Structure formats: C-alpha cells, structure tokens
Structure 1
Amino acid sequence: MATTSEDVESTYEAFIDHVKRLHYVGDAGGVLQWDQQVMMPDAGTPARAKQSSAISTLHHELLTDDQLAGWLDELGDADLDAEQEAVVREVRRDHERAVRVPSDLVERLSEASSNALPVWKEAKADDDFDAFADTLREMVDLRREYAEAIDPDRDPYEVLFEEYEPYLGIDTAEAVLTTLREELVPLIDDIAASDVTLASPFEGTYDDDTQHALVEAALDTLGYDWDRGRLDTAPHPFSTGTQFDARVTTRFTPDDPLDALGSTIHEFGHATYTQGLPREEYGTPLGDNRDLSVHESQSRFWENHVGRSRPFWDLFAPTVNDHLGTDATPREFYEAANEVYDDNLIRVEADELTYHMHIVLRFEIERDLIRGDLEVEEVPQVWNDKMEQYLGVRPDTDAEGCLQDIHWTNGAIGYFPTYSLGSVLAAQLAHHVDADVDDFDGTVRAGEFGPIHEWLTEHIHRHGARYTTDDLIEEATGEAFSADYFVEYADEKYRDLYDC
C-alpha cells in the first residue's frame, strides 16, 4: 500500500505507462480494422483474422495483468487529484470487466469477427441470409458467453449494452426509445397524411468522382483537419482513429448525392470529436472519447442540426449546384435534405424521424437474440414483420432487410441504442449551443464554424472521459439528460415543413 506522496507518484507513473501501452495496442488494432474495411484485398482475410486476434489477445493480457490489478488496489485509497481519480475509475471499470473474460474467448471473438466480414459481404451481395446464419449464430453464442463471463447473474443484453454506454443505463435507453416511438409515430402519420410535396432537385445519376469532390468540399467548409485525417469509401460508412489521425469514410449512391453528403457530414462529426480530444492526454482515458452516446451526439449534431438546417443550405447550395450541375434554390435543397420517406427500408438512408424506428427494430431483435427469446433462423421473418409494423414497408429481399447492417458481423451487439441516445443528446446540446453562440444561424450561414467548434471543444471534447456520461451532460448543459429537446425540435421543424 502506497503511504507517502512519493510512493503514490511512483505507483501512478508506472500505472499510467502501462495504461498508455494498452491504448496504443488497441489503436493499432483499430488501424487493422480500418484497413480491412477500406484497403485490404479480399483474399487477405485469413491472415488479418490471425493478426487481429493476436492484437486483441495482447490488449486483453495488458488489461488483465496482475501488476495492473495491484496498482489499481494501491491507488484506490490514495490521495489523487480529480483527473487521476477519473483515469483510475475508467481503467478499473475496464479491468474488472476484462479480467472475468478468458483470453481464449477474446481470441475467438476477434477471429470470428474478422472471418465474418467477407461472409456477410457475400451473403448480402447474393441476398442469401442462410449463407450468413451460421456466422450470426456463432457471434450471438460468443457474445452470450462473453456477457455470462462478466456477470452471469444479470441480463446478458444489459451487460453487452454497457460495453458501449456504461453510465446512462439500459433503463434510460429503453425509456428514450419508448418516448421516441410514442412521440414520433403520430408525427410521422400526420406527415404521411399531409398533401405537401417537398422539392426533389436531383435528376439522373452522378458519378463517384463528382460526388467525391462534393463531399470533400463539404469537409473543407465544415473545417475538417486534413493534416490529421483522410477520406475513403467503405461498404458501410464509419470513422475511426485518434486525435492525431481521425479518418472518415463514405459511400456513393448514383441517383442520390444527398446520401453521401449526409453520411460524410455525419462521419465528420465523429472525426471532429476525435480530433478535438486533448493531444497531450493521448493514451489515457483523459484523451479518449466518452463512449458512444456522446460520440453519436457529435455526429448527429453536425449531420442534423447543421447539415440539415436552412442556414447551411443558404451557405452550401451554390457549391452543390457548381459540382452537380443542378440549379436549385437553398429552400429546395433544404426540403430535399429533410424529406420524410414512405419507403424507408435502409437505416443509413433513412430520414431524421423514421431513423429511430429502425433503431427500435434492431434493439428489440438483438435483445431477444441474446436473451434466447428469438432463434437466428427467425430473424428475417421477424425483421420484415417489424419493418411493416413500425415503418409501413416490407423488404422484398434480405439484402435490404436483415443483412443491411455490419454491426452484428463484428459482434457489436448492444450498440444500436446509442444511435438514438446520441440523437437525443445532440438536440439538447444544439439548444445550448444556439443559446451560447451569438447568432448561431448567421454563423452557419456565413460558414464561420469556429465558434461552434470552440463551444463543443470547451464543453465536450476537451474533457475526454474525465466525467461519466451523465456528469458530462450536466457539466456541458447545466441539466440532466432529457429527450424533451429532441421531441420539441422534431415536432416544430417537421410540422412547419409539412404544414401539418
């Protein structure tokens, strides 16, 4: 037990050196995953699976190391400052979860995830769920085993959810999803009954190079730091990296350039959060993001409260017209960016409102899979039934149904609720940014995004994982997490657009 300040300092220095090595290994694994989805040739999977497995096993060994456990015990009763206490809290939580999981299970999970990716790609391309069923069954079984290892006495889905959002709680997630279902469905029904038709300024198709130049221009406009990032394409858009290297990916739909533009702005939000983390704290929780609800709030803030706003289209409409050869007004682009679709099959192409019904559907299915209340072979039928129930459409193929997402392929079960939690938090943050930034709309319209970046960095990014999620929200906004802002924002915006 450390008893003097010198002993505590020495212990903490040894502890933090170990923590940094742990983070560096994890980040190296992230680069391997990025490469597999973006650059790696298809035939590289067998070697990549072994490489990723080795990295995951090494990371697990560092996180469960007996010496780390000893340092955590010594520092538990030590007189630490607030930032040191936060680091110890975050590492202790990860350590206590990881130490319960056997190394061979970590290795099997990593290898299974790498092997699953090409199986999913081929099954989706061939519209063949049966070709993916055994892979999904293996992943569900492994994630059940993982949850049971951490805590056999608790709901396994709750244990998995806490992997992505450790502090808000599954009860909060379920309450938010219930609120959104209850509040948004009547609004969506009123929009469907409206006789208003929003503008559709795009005709024909737009090649990848043209769209690539357009989304690059969007990233330039919003203030993406190219010295610490890059843009690529991937089957499923994502962002990954560190404050020194935060990359974004997008994908192009020939007849819908707003798809690529929206997904790029979304991933920009993730990347600008990552780029805004304190550089001097890299390798520690103080230089790491505050989990996925907060991360998603940053992407949704930029995608929805900036990229789908009328002031943004006042700014960006000429750029779109120049790149695509269109001749539309800012109002027409604004309407097109906010259309609520009646044929909403694909989550990543969904509008801002019906998107959350996609999340409810996935949440219910993956929860029931993990709890053993749903068999893998039942997924396509249940998926299609829920699509019809919640969204009024029924997929004709599994490729546009239960095979459309990558998340279950890489074992990210419990992840989906954070999308809606993040959207709700984005609206709460947007309310306070609007109140604190002088003439928010004028700032966006002028393309002067510096004050917005500064607000988000000051209130969110610079803190890393110093605060728990709920405490960070209190610190940033002065109030508790609430879905009220999102409900009010959605109701006001869409009833105005659709005159309903």
Structure 2
Amino acid sequence: MATNTADTDADAAADDAYEQLLDRVERISAVQSAGGVLSWDQQVTMPEGGTPVRSKQLSALSSVGHDMITADETAELLDTLADRELDDEQAAVVREVRRDYERADAVPRDLVEEISETSSEALSAWEEAKAEDDFETFAPYLEELVDLRQRQAEAIDPDRDPYEVLFEEYEPCLSIERAESILETLKETLVPMIDEIADSDADVTTDAFDGEFDTDDQEALSRDVLSTLGYDWDRGRLDTSSHPFTSGNQFDCRVTTRFDETDPLGGLTATVHEFGHAFYNLGLPQEHWGTPLGTSRDLSVHESQSRLWENHVGRTEAFWEHVLPTFAEYFDVDATPREAYESANQVYDDNLIRVEADELTYHLHIVVRFEIERDLIRGDLDVEDVPEVWNDKYEEYLGIRPETDAEGCLQDIHWSHGNFGYFPTYSLGSVMATQLFDAAEDDLGELTDDIRAGEFEALHEWLRENVHEHGARYETNELVRQATGEDFSADAFVDYVQSKYGALYDLESSV
C-alpha cells in the first residue's frame, strides 16, 4: 500500500510544531515562575525599601512573558496545530495555550507592564494603610487598579461584562452565571441556618482555646502539623506574612501563615488551608512542569484542595483527637477533643475577619467582597465609597459593623494585586471540596479512623490520582465529573452543612 507523502510530511510538521510549542510554553512558565519567587520575596523577606526596584523587576518579567506568549511564533505554531490530529493530552495542551494566547494577545504590552508595576506599588501601600487604619493611603492605588483592569477587560472583549471577563482569569471553565447561582444557593441555605443557630439552645463549647499562646510555639505546632499532614519539607518551607498564601510549583512550593497570641486556631487553620494548596502544587506531574499538563486547573479547583484539608480534615473531631496531645505539648489547654472540635466549629456572626470566620459565615464574607468588586469593575461603585458600602453590607448580612477599615475593607490583600474576580473561587472551592471528599469516602470508605490515627496516605493517593495528576488536562466540570461521577453542584455541600451543623446545634430544620 502506497504511503501518502503529503500526509506524512504534515504529520511530521505537526509533531515538530507541538514539540516547539511545548518548549516555548516551558520557557514562558520559567519567566512566570521567576516572577512568582520575586513576589514571594516581596511579601516575606524583602526589606521595606525595596519596593521601587521590585516593582520594575516584576513589571519587566511580566512584559517578557507577555511578549513570549503573544509572539508571532506562538501564533504560527498554534495555527499549524489547528487542524492536525492530536491525542487527548496534546489537544488539552493546545486548548489551554490557545486560550492564554488569545487573552494575552488582546492586551497591549504597556498595559501589562502598568498593571504589574502598579500592583507591586499597591502592595506596600495596602500594608501601610492596613497598619495605620488609613484607607486614603490605599485608595489612589485601588482606583488606578480598577481603571487598569477595566481597560484590560475592554481590550479582551469590549462587548461583554468586564467583571465576567476578569473572573475568567481565575476560573476560565465555569461561567459567571454558574458561580452566581452557587453563591445564591449558599445564601439561601446559610442565612436561615445561621439565624437558627443564633437562636439555638445547644450547649456548644466555645472557650476551649481562650488565653494567650506564644507565637513561636504556635509556629512550632504548625510545623508539627504540616509534617503530620505530609508536607514535603525538601520542596517547601513555612514563613509568616501579613496575609497567608502559597507560592510555587511541583519542585518548590512554599506556604506562609500568620499568628495571633489570642487565637491559636486562626494560625493553625490557615496553615492547614495553605497546606492544601501546597499539596496540590507538589502533586502535579513533575515530567510536565511548565506545560498545562503540569499546571493546576484553576482557582476553584485549587481552593477545593485547601478547603478540603481545612474543613473536612482540620475541623473534624477525629483530627482533634489526633492533634490535641501535640497541642498540649506546647500549651496548657484543659480541653477534651470534643470540646476542641466544638470550639473549632462554633458559628459566630460577630466576627469581622474573613480568614478567622467559621465555616458557615465565611461565605457571607465572600459575598460582600464579590458584590463590591463586581460593582467596582462595572463602574457602579466609586472607590471612595467602598468603606461605607463594605460596612453597610456587613451590617446587612452579618449584623455587625466594622469600627475600623483595617478590620473592614483593608483586611484582605487581593485588591492590592488587582485580583478582581478572585473571591468567588473561595466559595466555589468549598463547595467542590465537599463533593470531592464525599467521592473519596465512597471509594475508600469512611476516613474518620485514618484522620484520628494521623494516617493520610490513602487520601493523598486518591487526590493525586483523581485531581493532581491531571493538571489542566480536563476543564473544571469534566475534572469533577471524572473524580466524582457527577457534575459540579452545591448539592453535596448543602447536605454536608445541614448534617454537620444540624447535629452540632440541634437544628430542627436539619433533622
């Protein structure tokens, strides 16, 4: 049988183009990773005076990365592969690179540089404003970032809702309509439940961790817990920062947390949360580093990993049965595991701080941020009005009003990075975490005994096999379907909170 020379040549050209595309994407990832290390350094170890130069360094790297992804060579390689026969993994890589290319190509280089430089400068302004409780210090930077991101959204697609366009930067595979629908389901479920809890006569321990707790000892405890959970210290480290975060890849993934002498749970919970992010990054396929197959899916999936470890492991009674003896090695705490569990899960709507919020009211904190940043980007809210609108929404949704902007609209770091569209992913991730954890227990059996014994390898392996090893091969809903057999929805989360908190607070509506 004669060989079709033209087809053979085309196949060879496609193979060569694919390998060139992989090489190009890996070099782009290297530039982006370098920027990530510089950003980590700015938030953790850089001296305060370094901001002017650091902002220019980050801007330069952003510009280089932008030029590489939008170069004619990238477009030509994608065009060569457009009509070629690709296997599933190759098709996924091309799909993801094409999405990044088209989005980046629409944004002018000078706008990319300006966003990066302004974000770097805004970080220092935010830190100063928060420390001094002075919104006016940060307001000019926030106003500029809103304008820059509006211009970015318009460049990408002038005919669509600018907030929707920015949301896709963090969650490219789920529609804003689905995100809003899930947030609405959470509000409809949680607001009446929180009201019922407030009226409950259940005797729930709330003071198991009252007192003062040395921050050095808290850090030592966090390190012990990270080791227990399975953090790979050869590829990671723990530091403190003004706002907990995780940064890195499968070879080097670092976590940060923060400590308060009066709140040992806050620091520990943040550490467990960031472990989830790091464990995801460290579980990505090393052989695919720098390509979509070795990159996390998106922020909703990333948050599902952190919220799974924080809530479905770290807030369980079994976890406290395991960790309380270690806790007692550092602190004089006279509490049973049950009392520790109840204190770790108490619902209190008088807490102003998102990262210290309980598992239920947490989502109302997210709704406040979501609604405000959406209105900012849509041009329906002026920056100067943010503090008052923030306080009004807290009073409406939680019945409390911040007395300071440091405890109000300045508490979170995200807007100093220009990360508008980020906040919904926290709630989406919490919902997804429940669906994934339920599927893990369906496959492995109930994990209570494993958690009580500090044995996490079975859960590790399940997450690696069903989430981590796929990188960005599947789009979000397909990844959830592959792992759980169901489409992504809030059903499992609603059942979970009704069961858990119905039992904790003797709620009639959840019986």
Does 2:306 align with 1:284?
no
Does 2:225 align with 1:218?
yes
Aligned to 1:430: 437
Aligned to 2:155: 149
- Describe the SS at the equivalent of 2:417: coil
State the distance in 2 between where 1:82 and 1:457 align: 19
Match of 2:476, as an amino acid?
Answer: T
Aligned to 1:317: 324
C-alpha displacement of 1:162? 0.2
Does 2:176 align with 1:162?
no
C-alpha displacement of 1:194? 1.1
State the distance in 2 between where 1:342 and 1:75 align: 54
Match of 2:46, as an amino acid?
Answer: M
State the distance in 2 between where 1:342 and 1:368 align: 25
Aligned to 2:213: 206
After TM superposition, the structure 1 stretch with the greater mean CA deviation from structure 2, 8-17 or 404-413, is 8-17
2:36 aligns with one of 26, 30, 47: 30
Does 2:366 align with 1:364?
no
Aligned to 1:395: 402
1:377 aligns with one of 378, 384, 394: 384
1:66 aligns with one of 61, 67, 72: 72
1:81 aligns with one of 87, 91, 95: 87
User: Is residue 140–residue 369 contact of structure 1 (8 Å, CA) maintained in 2?
Assistant: yes
Aligned to 2:268: 261
- CA deviations 1:130-182 (Å, max 9, x no partner) are 12111110000000000000000000000000000001110000000100001
1:120 aligns with one of 112, 126, 144: 126
State the distance in 1 between where 2:375 and 2:10 align: 52
Match of 2:292, as an amino acid?
Answer: P
State the distance in 2 between where 1:61 and 1:413 align: 23
User: Is residue 384–residue 394 contact of structure 1 (8 Å, CA) maintained in 2?
Assistant: yes
C-alpha displacement of 1:118? 1.0
1:140 aligns with one of 137, 142, 146: 146
Does 2:499 align with 1:487?
no
Does 2:456 align with 1:449?
yes
Aligned to 2:16: 10
Does 2:101 align with 1:95?
yes
State the distance in 1 between where 2:53 and 2:215 align: 31
State the distance in 2 between where 1:207 and 1:43 align: 29
Aligned to 1:496: 503
Aligned to 1:470: 477
Match of 1:305, as an amino acid?
Answer: H
Does 2:120 align with 1:106?
no
State the distance in 1 between where 2:61 and 2:98 align: 21
State the distance in 1 between where 2:430 and 2:67 align: 35
1:420 aligns with one of 414, 420, 427: 427
- CA deviations 1:201-251 (Å, max 9, x no partner) are 123211111000111111011111111100000000000101001110000
User: Is residue 270–residue 299 contact of structure 1 (8 Å, CA) maintained in 2?
Assistant: yes
Q: Which runs of 5+ in 1 are unaligned?
A: none
Does 2:346 align with 1:354?
no
Aligned to 2:3: none
State the distance in 2 between where 1:253 and 1:167 align: 37
Length-normalised TM-score, structure 2: 0.97
C-alpha displacement of 1:321? 1.2
Does 2:137 align with 1:131?
yes
- CA deviations 1:268-307 (Å, max 9, x no partner) are 0000000000000001000000010000000000000000
Aligned to 1:187: 193
Match of 1:216, as an amino acid?
Answer: R
User: Is residue 349–residue 361 contact of structure 2 (8 Å, CA) maintained in 1?
Assistant: no
User: Is residue 307–residue 433 contact of structure 2 (8 Å, CA) maintained in 1?
Assistant: yes
State the distance in 2 between where 1:448 and 1:438 align: 14
Aligned to 1:235: 242
Two-structure CA RMSD over aligned residues (Å) = 1.0
State the distance in 2 between where 1:308 and 1:439 align: 16
Match of 1:220, as an amino acid?
Answer: S
Does 2:295 align with 1:306?
no
User: Is residue 321–residue 328 contact of structure 1 (8 Å, CA) maintained in 2?
Assistant: no
Match of 1:345, as an amino acid?
Answer: L
- CA deviations 1:8-53 (Å, max 9, x no partner) are 1111111111110011111110001100000100000001001000
- Describe the SS at the equivalent of 1:409: helix
User: Is residue 273–residue 295 contact of structure 1 (8 Å, CA) maintained in 2?
Assistant: yes
- Describe the SS at the equivalent of 2:256: strand
C-alpha displacement of 1:315? 1.0
- Describe the SS at the equivalent of 2:255: strand
Q: Which runs of 5+ in 2 are unaligned?
A: 1-5
Match of 1:497, as an amino acid?
Answer: L
C-alpha displacement of 1:195? 2.2
2:417 aligns with one of 410, 429, 453: 410
User: Is residue 277–residue 305 contact of structure 2 (8 Å, CA) maintained in 1?
Assistant: yes
State the distance in 1 between where 2:299 and 2:67 align: 24
- Describe the SS at the equivalent of 1:408: helix
User: Is residue 431–residue 490 contact of structure 2 (8 Å, CA) maintained in 1?
Assistant: yes
How many residue pairs get aligned? The number is: 500
State the distance in 2 between where 1:256 and 1:126 align: 22
C-alpha displacement of 1:432? 0.7
Match of 2:245, as an amino acid?
Answer: F
Match of 2:444, as an amino acid?
Answer: V
State the distance in 2 between where 1:271 and 1:188 align: 32
State the distance in 1 between where 2:330 and 2:314 align: 17
Length-normalised TM-score, structure 1: 0.99
Aligned to 2:49: 43
Give the % identical residues: 63
Aligned to 2:177: 171
C-alpha displacement of 1:197? 4.2
